[in-house]
Structure 1
Amino acid sequence: MGQLDGTQASTRMVRLHQRIPSLRLLRRARRMLDDAIDLARLRLDALPDGIYQPVPGLPVRKAKRAVGSQSRWAAMEPVIERLGVKSAMDIGANVGYFPIKLASRGIPAVALESDPRHVRTTTTAVRRNQLDNVAVMKLELRPDTLGLLPTTDCTLLLSLWHHLVRDQGLDTATHLLRELWARTGKVMFFDSGEDEMPEWFGLPRMLPTPDVWLREYLQENCAGGRIEHLGRHRAFDAAGLPTDRALFAVIREPQ
C-alpha cells in the first residue's frame, strides 16, 4: 500500500512538473494581453488632449500640466523630507503623479479620484512603475464618504477646493477642508482656483489678494496649523488658458 501511494505521489509530481511550463506560458500570455488592453484603454482615455500630469512610465504625449506638477513637487519635497512624512493621501489625484512620486520615495500613498478614466490611468501607471505601496481609491469626496478616508501624515488638496465650492457650496467645502485637516498628522498641501475662475464657480471674492485671502482662510479653518507660502505655480483656468496659483503648506504645530 505504501509503495502504491508513493507511485501515485510520484505520478502527480511528474504531471505537475509537466504543467509548470504551460502555466508559465499562460501567465506570460495573460500579462501581455493585460498590457495591450491597458495601453489601448490608456490611449482612449487620454483623448483628445493627452493626460494632465507627467506620470512616469506612461507612453503618452507631453502632459498638459507638466511644468506646474513638477514645480509643485519641487516645492513640496523639501517640506515632506523635513517633516519626516511616512504616509500620504492625494485627494483628487488625477492620474497619480504625486502619489507615484511619494511612493517612489518609499512613502505609502493613497490616490483618491472620482473620474473612472483617471482611476484606470493611475492603476496602469502604478503597475508599470512596479509600485506596491500605492492604493488607488475610486471615490468622490463628500460629507457622507469622509468616514472612509484614512488618517495620514500628509494630505494633498491641489486644484480641487474650487470644484468642491462649485459642486457642493462654500460651507460644505469648508467642512470638508476641516475634516481633511483633522485626518492630517503633519502637513496639508493646498492650492485652488483664484480670481481667474468664472463667477458660476461661486468662489468668494479673494480680497485684498488671493494669496492673503487663502492664507487667512486656511489659518482660520486648520486649527493648530502654521501656514507656509510655497510660491506660485503654473495652472490653467476654466477655459484652459495658463495662469498661476499660490501653493501653501499647512504644517501642524507640535502640541
Structure 2
Amino acid sequence: MKFFLKLKIKKLFFFLNKFKGFLIIEIFRRFPGVKRYQPIYNAKESLKVTRACLDRWKVIQKKLPLKKKSVLDIGSNIGFFTFKFAENNFLAHGIESDILSVLVSESIKQKNQVQNVFFSLETVDEVFIKKMPKYQIVNNLSVFHHWVKRYGDKKALRMLSYLVKHCDYMFFETGQVNEVDMEWSKLLKFMKNDPESWVINTLKKFGFRDVLCIGQFNTGLSNVKRNLFFAKK
C-alpha cells in the first residue's frame, strides 16, 4: 500500500513539475511585453523574434571540431545555440544574467528531455572569467559590445583576453562601430571603421592562431550586417 502511495505521489510531483515548465514556456510565448530575442528550440511554430538564429547556426555547425567536448554559451538567452550544441553531442553550458531566460531554458530542457545541457544564472565579469574552467569552445555572440558599455573598453578587452585563455575555439560576434543608429556604437571607436580587421587582429593578439570571418548576418536592429568569426588555436 505504501509503495503504491509513494508511486502516486511521485507521479503527481512529476506532472506538476512538467506542468510548471509548460506554463513558463507559455507565459514567455504569449505574455505581452516579453522580449523574444531567440526562437524557442525545437518549437513547431515560429514566433516573431528579434534575431534569427538558424542562419548563424548552419554556418557554425560546419566549423565544429570532430572531437566533441564542452561548450560555454555566454549570454545564452533562452538557449537556442546551447541546445544546438547539445544536439551535436557537446556538453553544453549556457550562462545568462536574466532569470526569466534561465527559467525558460530549463523548461525547454525539461520539455525536450535533453540531458547534456545545463544553465546557470551568472553575471560575466573579470572575476567570473578568471575563475571559470576551460572549455573546448566558447560561443561568444553579440556580448562584447555590452561589456564595453557596462565596463568600459579597457576592462572589456581584458575580459576578452582572459576568455581566450580558457578555450581552444571561439565563435565570436560583436556589435560594430558602423552600426551608427545604435547608442553604443560611439563607444567602439577603437575599431576604427574596420570592425572585421579589428576582430581578426585582436583575437590573434590574444592567442588564436587562425581567425576567419565565416559570415555576415542581419541583426533585426539596423540594416548593417554583423560579422561572425571562427577562431582556433
Deviations 1:1-43 (A, max 9, x none): xxxxxxxxxxxxxxxxx22332222222222222222233333
Deviations 1:126-146 (A, max 9, x none): 111211211211110011222
| 1:249 counterpart = 2:230 | yes
Deviation at 1:224, TM superposition (A): 3.6
| 1:127 counterpart = 2:94 | no
* Matched AA of 2:63: V
Give runs of aligned pairs for residues 77-156 of structure 1, distance below 5 A.
77-82=61-66, 84-156=67-139
Q: Per the alignment, do residues 126 and 199 of structure 1 end up closer, same or farther by CA in structure 2, a change over 3 Å counting?
A: closer
Whole-angstrom distance in 1 between the partners of 2:199 and 2:109: 33
Deviation at 1:193, TM superposition (A): 0.9
Q: Which runs of 5+ in 1 are unaligned?
A: 1-17
Judge conservation of contact 1:161–1:173 (CA < 8 Å) in 2: yes
Give the secondary structure class of the aligned counterpart of 2:216. Answer: strand
Judge conservation of contact 1:225–1:251 (CA < 8 Å) in 2: yes
What is the root-mean-square deviation in Å for CA atoms of aligned residues? 2.2
Whole-angstrom distance in 2 between the partners of 1:208 and 1:50: 30
Give the secondary structure class of the aligned counterpart of 1:227. Answer: strand
Which of 191, 200, 207 aligns to 2:192? It is 207
Give the TM-score taking structure 1 as reference length.
0.81
Give the secondary structure class of the aligned counterpart of 1:236. Answer: coil
Worse-matched range after superposition: 163-172 or 195-204:
195-204
| 1:235 counterpart = 2:216 | no
Which of 49, 55, 60 aligns to 1:76? It is 60
Whole-angstrom distance in 1 between the partners of 2:228 and 2:204: 14
Deviation at 1:79, TM superposition (A): 1.0
Give the secondary structure class of the aligned counterpart of 2:126. Answer: coil
- The structure whose Rg is larger is 1
Number of residue-to-residue matches in the alignment: 228
| 1:188 counterpart = 2:170 | yes
Give the secondary structure class of the aligned counterpart of 2:90. Answer: coil
Whole-angstrom distance in 2 between the partners of 1:26 and 1:75: 46
Give the secondary structure class of the aligned counterpart of 1:88. Answer: strand
Deviation at 1:72, TM superposition (A): 1.2
Number of the residue aligned with 1:42? 25
Deviation at 1:45, TM superposition (A): 4.0
* Matched AA of 1:227: V
Which of 24, 30, 42 aligns to 2:13? It is 30
Whole-angstrom distance in 2 between the partners of 1:57 and 1:79: 22
Whole-angstrom distance in 1 between the partners of 2:44 and 2:36: 10
| 1:62 counterpart = 2:43 | no
Deviation at 1:205, TM superposition (A): 5.0
Deviations 1:90-130 (A, max 9, x none): 11111111111111111101111111011111111111121
Worse-matched range after superposition: 25-34 or 175-184:
25-34
Judge conservation of contact 2:24–2:107 (CA < 8 Å) in 1: no
Whole-angstrom distance in 1 between the partners of 2:186 and 2:26: 31
Number of the residue aligned with 1:159? 142
Higher relative contact order (CA closer than 8 Å, sequence separation 6+): 2
Q: Which runs of 5+ in 2 are unaligned?
A: none
Number of the residue aligned with 1:6? none
* Matched AA of 1:23: K
Give the secondary structure class of the aligned counterpart of 2:38. Answer: coil
Judge conservation of contact 2:18–2:110 (CA < 8 Å) in 1: no
Q: Per the alignment, do residues 212 and 147 of structure 1 end up closer, same or farther by CA in structure 2, a change over 3 Å counting?
A: closer
Q: Per the alignment, do residues 218 and 125 of structure 1 end up closer, same or farther by CA in structure 2, a change over 3 Å counting?
A: same
